[in-house]
Amino acid sequence: GNSVTQMEGPVTLSEEAFLTINCTYTATGYPSLFWYVQYPGEGLQLLLKATKADDKGSNKGFEATYRKETTSFHLEKGSVQVSDSAVYFCALSDAGSGNTGKLIFGQGTTLQVKP
Amino acid sequence: DSGVTQTPKHLITATGQRVTLRCSPRSGDLSVYWYQQSLDQGLQFLIQYYNGEERAKGNILERFSAQQFPDLHSELNLSSLELGDSALYFCASSVGTSAYNEQFFGPGTRLTVL
């Protein structure tokens, strides 16, 4: 079945450090890939997405590239800020059989950025 | 603000009880998804409705049920509650059912079963 695996957290960085959060997936069809962010006490917000191989999603300085050969969608940011502290979820939605749009999430990675 | 509303924000109840969680999707969205977020299971898809009809089912217990009404709001009913049902329940909406559609999440309902 489809699944998403994220690196374990928490990840603690100093402000302006480089961020990478690893995400790999298993899918039987042709998934769309997403990164969602959850700030404390809030719901999830879409951060970026990619719908086909080699697509790069980007938003607010974050980016991720859909790598079919390594089944990965790693999240990166060149210089993190304290306001980026949140939980980040990698997710997939299978565009194959059923095509319901339901999301399958990784376990989430907590990012703490210290001033 | 995502445009998706959920009520109530918090719910505290006892084992064996029944509760109803309500979700209003963004204007124009026909699809509603329910997800459960717990410490041990993470974020899991429960069930999806599209324009009033059940479209997909995930790891939803038989004690749980949902429906979507003609005005497109949705309700998740949880019965015979157990301690392990304590979790954050999110509703999300999207315009359709495609894997390419963005889902917009509500703020969630935190359920505590004592």
pLDDT tens, position by position, A89-102: 999 997 665 677 88
In the block, tokens 């079919």 appear at A68
CA distance A98 to B97: 9
Tally Cβ neighbours within 10 Å of residue A59: 14
| pLDDT at B100 (0 to 100) | 81
Per DSSP, which regions of chain B are E strands?
Answer: 5-7, 10-13, 19-24, 31-38, 42-50, 53-57, 64-68, 74-78, 87-94, 104-105, 109-113
For residue B8, cis peptide bond before it (omega within 30 degrees of 0): yes
| Predicted confidence (pLDDT) per residue in A13-47, tens digit | 999 999 999 999 998 877 999 999 999 888 899 99
The pLDDT mean for chain B works out to 94
Taking alpha carbons only, the member of A6, A55, A63, A58 closest to residue A31 is: A55
User: Looking at residues B87-109, what average pLDDT do you find?
Assistant: 91
Tokens of A66: 């859909």
Q: In this structure, which amino acid lies at residue A7?
A: M
Tokens of A55: 């697509």
| pLDDT at A96 (0 to 100) | 63
Nearest to B43 among A32, A51, A89 (CB): A89
CA distance B13 to B112: 6
Decide: residue B85, CB within 10 A, 0-12 exposed, 13-18 middle, 19+ buried. buried
CA distance B54 to A68: 32
**Any CB–CB contact under 8 A between A107 and chain B?**
yes
Q: How far is A46 from chain B (nearest CA, A)?
A: 7
Is A104 within 8 Å of B45 when comparing Cβ atoms? yes
**Any CB–CB contact under 8 A between A66 and chain B?**
no
Q: In this structure, which amino acid lies at residue B34?
A: W
Q: Which residue of B has its CA nearest to A94?
A: B99
Is B55 within 8 Å of A93 when comparing Cβ atoms? no
Tokens of A79: 């210089």
- In Å, how far are A53, A73, A113, B58 from A24, measured between CA atoms? 14, 6, 24, 21
**Any CB–CB contact under 8 A between A93 and chain B?**
yes
| Predicted confidence (pLDDT) per residue in B3-39, tens digit | 999 999 999 999 999 999 999 999 999 999 999 999 8
Q: Which of A100, A104, A105 to mutate to test the interface with B (most CBs of B within 10 A)?
A: A100
